[in-house]
A and B are shown apart, each in its own frame.
Chain A
Amino acid sequence: MIKIENITKKFGRLDVLKGIDLEISPGKITAILGPNGSGKSTLIKSVLGMVIPDSGNISIDGVSVLGDWKYRNKISYLPQIASFPENLTVKNLIRMLKDIRQQPANESFLISLFKIEEFLDKRIKHLSGGTRQKVNLLLACMFNNPIIILDEPTTGLDPVSVVNLKNLIRQQKEEGTTIIFTTHIMSLVDDLADEIVFLLEGNIHYQGTKEQLKEKNKSKDLELAIANMLVEKKEIKLDSKPFRYVESLAI
């Protein structure tokens, strides 16, 4: 279990995380949502040790991870931007990560799932944005780790790959993996997430299941439920034109 206790983080004068307390249940899919700049990526990066919190504690299975690095062999991570050394081939990259992690990998299954056989010997600089994201996914998911963290996993993917990704995430969940992801695509949350953590201005605004969220905000549609929640917070009346406000709130 990942336990986050009273984490705060400032970037200059900007309070990005204002005392987050969160427990992420093992074996479940948790979606971290929130408008741009709400602290989603900072929270994820704090768990990974990429951002160093100003105060608070993060522990995995009861052991504090701040200042440590070995615990990261339990975590697979998909960064938001897929950027690799341009002159390496996809094969080089796979070998490099296997070299670094020294863990068994099931890359061949993912290579065929995302259809990247033909790109294996190509240099990264010759790949399209979507193919790079597939390589990014392959590198993140090829190790059998108990925790997977995905930052905007569907960016740049074609619909077939999105379906494959969803199936992959479901399959990983069945194997008992804890999955955390951030996204702005509500249908993905509706399809996959067991739990939702909604961040707003550096605080947790909502935490619970998606069913509870829908019930609480009296909506069958997750997108509308979140919009209602935000509207309530900002004291704006939705009236009959909810989508205009949904758009302007930039969830």
Chain B
Amino acid sequence: MWKVWQYSAYDLLRSRWTYIYFAFFLIVSFSLLRMSSSLMMAVVSLVNIVNILIPLIGTIFGAIYFYNSREFMELLISQPLKRRSLFLGHYLGLASSLAGSFLLGMGIPFVFFRIWQSDQFGNFLSLMFTGILLTFIFVGIAYLIALLNDNKVKGFGIAIVVWLFMVVLYDGLFILLLVAFEDYPLEKFSLAASFLNPVDLSRIFVMLKLDIAALMGYTGAVFSKFLGSSNGIFLSVALMLIWIFVPLLAYLRIARKKDF
């Protein structure tokens, strides 16, 4: 597994897209830090960028990279390697490269602004942590979609729809349902509904950590009310980890029986 990981990561390390992704975060993070009045404001602004952009790049780049590597994976399957090691190594190669670009791109400007001396250090670390979790979640989802769909156009289509659904449509549908059923108690429903969206979980996690009631949104407030801040933080991280493992295990299970 580590050999496949090593060479996939090495291939990506030499890809210009990895550097473009890194440069994007570097510029955005640096600009926001320069323009915001406080470090906290910069962190809050970056939460939205992380929650929208990381799922987008994870899904699109994940699907592209998987489809581009398909024939190469065929060659690797013919080698004395366990399928699980090969597919896991390939996934980790991409997810760790993207996470690395994000960590460095986002982190360097904060280091420049001496984040470790600020009271926002913990919040900054939460933002980084959630960014990494989202990368692993969405690369896993993209790999699963690409493995299930040999037709590239269909695979890309589904990947984009999944991103659009989780980042944009989900909130809209959620609000519609809340309005439609406003006469009923909806706390438990909304709590359960937010489990089903990793982007929501990531937002709730950072907002609970930042402890900004106004920005928590309905689900964040419910989380905070029902579970308290620390339980809410713990539960949201646990659920995000489940969001990594469920698609990943499904991907590995399907890969074991797949014909190439």
> A residues within 8 Å of B by Cβ?
9, 11, 45, 48-52, 69-73, 75, 77, 79, 81-88, 92, 96-97, 99-101, 123, 139
Q: Would A50 and B259 count as touching, CB distance under 8 A?
A: yes
> B residues within 8 Å of A by Cβ?
3-4, 7-8, 10-15, 68-72, 74-83, 257, 259-260
Q: Which residues on A sit within 8 Å (CB–CB) of B3?
A: 96, 99-100
Q: Would A48 and B83 count as touching, CB distance under 8 A?
A: no
List 18 other contacts, CB 8 Å, given A84-B75, A100-B3.
A45-B259, A48-B78, A50-B74, A50-B78, A50-B259, A73-B80, A75-B78, A83-B75, A85-B11, A86-B15, A86-B68, A87-B11, A87-B14, A88-B7, A96-B3, A100-B79, A123-B14, A139-B75
Q: A50-B259, A50-B260, A69-B82 are in contact. Are A85 and B77 (CB under 8 A)?
A: no
Rounded to whole angstroms, the CA-CA distance of A96 and B74 in the bound complex is 15
Q: Would B259 and A84 count as touching, CB distance under 8 A?
A: no
Q: A83-B72, A96-B7 are in contact. Are A77 and B78 (CB under 8 A)?
A: yes
Q: Which residues on B sit within 8 Å (CB–CB) of A84?
A: 72, 75
Rounded to whole angstroms, the CA-CA distance of A50 and B259 in the bound complex is 6
Q: Would A85 and B72 count as touching, CB distance under 8 A?
A: yes
Rounded to whole angstroms, the CA-CA distance of A85 and B78 in the bound complex is 16
A88 touches which one: B10, B68, B76 (CB < 8 A)? B10
List of 10 A-B pairs having minimum Cβ-Cβ separation, nearest first: A83-B71, A85-B11, A87-B14, A73-B80, A77-B78, A72-B80, A51-B259, A50-B260, A48-B78, A87-B11
A79 touches which one: B8, B11, B78, B257 (CB < 8 A)? B78
Q: Which residues on B sit within 8 Å (CB–CB) of A52?
A: 257, 259
B74 touches which one: A79, A92, A100 (CB < 8 A)? A79
Q: Which residues on B sit within 8 Å (CB–CB) of A86?
A: 11, 15, 68
Rounded to whole angstroms, the CA-CA distance of A70 and B70 in the bound complex is 22
A81 touches which one: B69, B71, B81 (CB < 8 A)? B71
Q: Which residues on B sit within 8 Å (CB–CB) of A9?
A: 259
Q: Which residues on B sit within 8 Å (CB–CB) of A75?
A: 78
Q: How far is the CB of B79 from chain A (nearest CB, A)?
A: 5
Q: Which residues on A sit within 8 Å (CB–CB) of B8?
A: 85
Q: How far is the CB of B187 from chain A (nearest CB, A)?
A: 47
Q: Which one of A9, A45, A73, A96 has the greatest number of beta carbons of chain B within 10 Å?
A: A96
Q: How far is the CB of B65 from chain A (nearest CB, A)?
A: 10
Q: Would A51 and B260 count as touching, CB distance under 8 A?
A: yes
Q: How far is the CB of B22 from chain A (nearest CB, A)?
A: 15
Q: How far is the CB of A218 from chain B (nearest CB, A)?
A: 40
Q: Would A72 and B79 count as touching, CB distance under 8 A?
A: yes
Q: A79-B74, A83-B72, A84-B72 are in contact. Are A100 and B10 (CB under 8 A)?
A: no
Rounded to whole angstroms, the CA-CA distance of A99 and B260 in the bound complex is 23
Q: Would A92 and B10 count as touching, CB distance under 8 A?
A: yes
Q: How far is the CB of B5 from chain A (nearest CB, A)?
A: 12
Q: Which residues on B sit within 8 Å (CB–CB) of A70?
A: 80
Rounded to whole angstroms, the CA-CA distance of A88 and B10 in the bound complex is 8
Q: How far is the CB of B61 from chain A (nearest CB, A)?
A: 14
Q: Which residues on A sit within 8 Å (CB–CB) of B68?
A: 86
Rounded to whole angstroms, the CA-CA distance of A75 and B8 in the bound complex is 24
Q: Which residues on A sit within 8 Å (CB–CB) of B260?
A: 45, 50-51
Q: Which residues on A sit within 8 Å (CB–CB) of B259?
A: 9, 11, 45, 50-52
14 contacts between A and B (CB under 8 A): A48-B77, A49-B78, A50-B78, A50-B260, A69-B80, A69-B82, A79-B78, A84-B75, A86-B11, A87-B13, A88-B10, A88-B11, A100-B3, A100-B81
